[in-house]
Structure 1
Amino acid sequence: MYPRFAEPIPNVTVTVGRDALLACVVDNLRGFKNARISLSYNDHRSWYLHVKNVQEVDRGWYMCQVNTDPMRSRKGYLQVVVPPMLSIPNQLEGAYIGQDVTLECHTEAYPSSINYWTTDRGDMIISGGKYEAFPMDSGYNKFMMLKIRNITKDDFGFYKCIAKNSLGETDGIIKLDGNLYFTCFMFNLINFVWYSTQLRSL
């Protein structure tokens, strides 16, 4: 659990020349430490905030504050960029002749990547007719979808999803296979024949 302020800081009235005590109550602070973040300084003039192993959640504004009266502060923005990364839920997709099938790749990148599909011959796939390439967005995560209509035997093979931005490029390959469904069908047919034979022998 992260530390949180348990209650407001109460106002205090004190006579000049006396000491004052203001309480700040924080829950979940015992033992809490972010090992990735540390602070260093040079001659009490230059202060440095070190962030190790930067993650996307570290993106945002950071404030350097001097507790004078009035309080003085300066802000700086930490931008975190992400080279394209790909994940493929199913690297092998089965289909049968005449079926519509949708291939799927998941991408993550910042700045946002340019995403597209190619065939195993290296030809870029353009939406229209047989193919429909469309994205589904969820923040920095994008889902690359490729719908292939009315499958023929010429459509079986490999399809490549590609993502690129200013930091680099990556790709993934999905195999569209007609033999996968044929194998499953034959297995079920063999089981049916064996079961029917057993019934006739009873």
Structure 2
Amino acid sequence: MATHAQGGPLARLLVLAVLHVNFIALGLEPDFLYPLENVTIAQGRDAMFTCVVNNLGGYRVSGDSATARVAWIKADTKAILAIHEHVITNNARLSVTHNDYNTWTLNIRGVKREDRGQYMCQVNTDPMKMQTAFLEVVIPPDIIYEETSGDMMVPEGGSAKLVCKARGYPPPKIVWRREDGGDIISRGGPQGKTKVTSLEGEIVNLTKVTRSEMGAYLCIAANGVPPSVSKRIMLHVHFHPLVQVPNQLVGAPTGTDVTLQCHVEASPKAINYWTRENGEMIISNDKYQMTEINSSAYSVQMRLVIRNIQRSDLGGYKCISKNSIGDAEGNIRLYEMELPNRKSRDDDDGDFSIEETNDVRSSLQGPLREGGPRDEDASFLGGGAPPSAAATPLAPKFFLITALILATIC
């Protein structure tokens, strides 16, 4: 019996079987220590998968004298990428590193969109063991400029269609906002006229556009992969100039300075200037100073400062605005405002004296008549305010003293 056990082939096979069973029972077969983890990476970055296999060294594949090996496979295409540390596929961006113990790492440099898919770490045991993970390649958003609207012009009351297209993965979401934070106005929908601070979608339809909707619109594309991108689209609304005059009648004493103002709205940008009523154009010099202050994208405040007013400066002035669509003008009449006398008492000699008031901080503006003394009962044009305190008649006490002096002389 002993002789048969030592020399017989059946005994040797039995021993190998027992040893194989013992390896399995003791857990000495190759096994994965950690699961293979999914990877999400932005296009152009480097990705890696790490596979940790225990008990691989010395394990013989059934029916083969070679030890077990670790292989990397692209599961969706069934392409073998690498075996142990040797890259099989013709892809210079792939490499495999091994720490000489139990860890194999698949490195993919400069990930591209086509690298996306299922990757497998496989050990050629019998039966074969494997684990898989997914490589997700994300792409930051990018505006497709050839399919996106540029700056545009529409007449007031017309319509505008703003289009914004973007690419990326996941597909980007498009949000519209106004650069100045104003409302985006939608008309003609089931809810009628609506105002929103932001709007989603590739297309924004603006109907019956008004001048208040002029300005920059921002198309913002985002998909959760930084950075978000945007494009600025300028909407120009063209319309006939409009001139508004806050004060059509302006009064000031001679020898003082006065400022005339007009508010102008126009698009495209207008040429603005001042003339006298006879059509003579005014130019900036020591006498006149003209300035413009922008109030918005389409509105301007025109100012004309007239220094050291003389009687020759009195009369009509025009502020004129012209653009490619049309022109408009406003009229202002400048009149002389006479300063009232005021009394003052001289404590030394007790005499009363009359002195002229020269301290004029601002001109009187309103619908008053030009030049000369005013009738107290004169009606004011346009429902203007009553005369100011500076223009009220002298106090009754003053007239009483004057009457007494005249009676004494007589």
The bucket for the TM-score relative to the shorter chain is 0.5 to 0.7
- The answer as to whether partners of 2:265 and 2:300 remain within 8 angstroms in 1 is yes
| Equivalent position to 1:37, from 188, 195, 198 | 188
- Cα displacement string for residues 148-200 of structure 1 (whole angstroms, at most 9, x for unaligned residues): 01000111000000001011000000000115585369952x342x2434689
How far apart are 1:79 and its partner, in Å?
Answer: 3.6
Residue equivalent to 2:161: none
Greater Cα radius of gyration, structure 1 or 2: 2
Residues 105/50 of structure 1: CA separation in 2 closer, same or farther (3 Å cut):
closer
Matched, 1:172 2:327: no
Instruction: Answer whether contact 1:37 1:49 (CA < 8 A) is retained.
Output: no
Rounded Cα–Cα distance in structure 1 between residues aligned with 2:252 and 2:213:
43
| TM-score scaled by length of structure 2 | 0.32
Identical aligned residues as a percent: 38
Find the aligned partners of 1:36 and 1:199 in 2 and give their Cα distance.
Answer: 73
Cα gap change, 1:200 to 1:136, in 2 (>3 Å)? same
- 5 Å matches for 1:95-106? 95-106=252-263
Q: Structure 2: where are the runs of 5+ without partners? A: 1-184, 191-202, 220-232, 338-367, 375-386, 404-410
Q: Does 1:58 align with 2:213?
A: yes
Deviation at 1:50, TM superposition (A): 6.4
2:250 aligns with 93
User: Which amino acid is 2:315 matched to?
Assistant: G
* Structure 1 position 57, deviation (Å): 3.5
Looking at structure 2, the residues matched to 126 and 57 of structure 1 have their Cα atoms a distance apart, in angstroms, of: 32
State the superposition RMSD in angstroms.
3.3
Structure 1 unaligned blocks of 5 or more: 1-33, 40-46, 64-75
Q: Give the number of the structure with larger relative contact order, counting CA–CA contacts within 8 Å between residues 6 or more apart.
A: 1
Q: What letter corresponds to residue 56 of structure 1 in structure 2?
A: R
Q: Which digits, 9 at most, give the CA deviation of each residue in 1:67-108, with x for residues without a partner?
A: xxxxxxxxx975411221111110000011101001000001
User: How many Å apart are 1:125 and its aligned residue?
Assistant: 0.2
Q: How many residues align?
A: 147
Is 2:398 the counterpart of 1:196? yes
**What does residue 143 of structure 1 align with?**
301
User: Does the aligned pair in 1 maintain the 2:245–2:330 contact within 8 Å?
Assistant: yes
Q: Would you say the 8 A contact 2:186–2:206 is kept in 1?
A: no
For residues 91-143 of structure 1, what are the alpha-carbon distances to aligned partners after superposition, in whole Å with 9 as ceiling and x for unaligned? Answer: 00001110100100000111111100000110110000211111111222111
User: Partner of 1:153 in structure 2?
Assistant: 311
Runs (4 or more) in structure 1 with deviation over 2 Å come to 34-39, 47-50, 56-63, 76-79, 179-188, 195-201
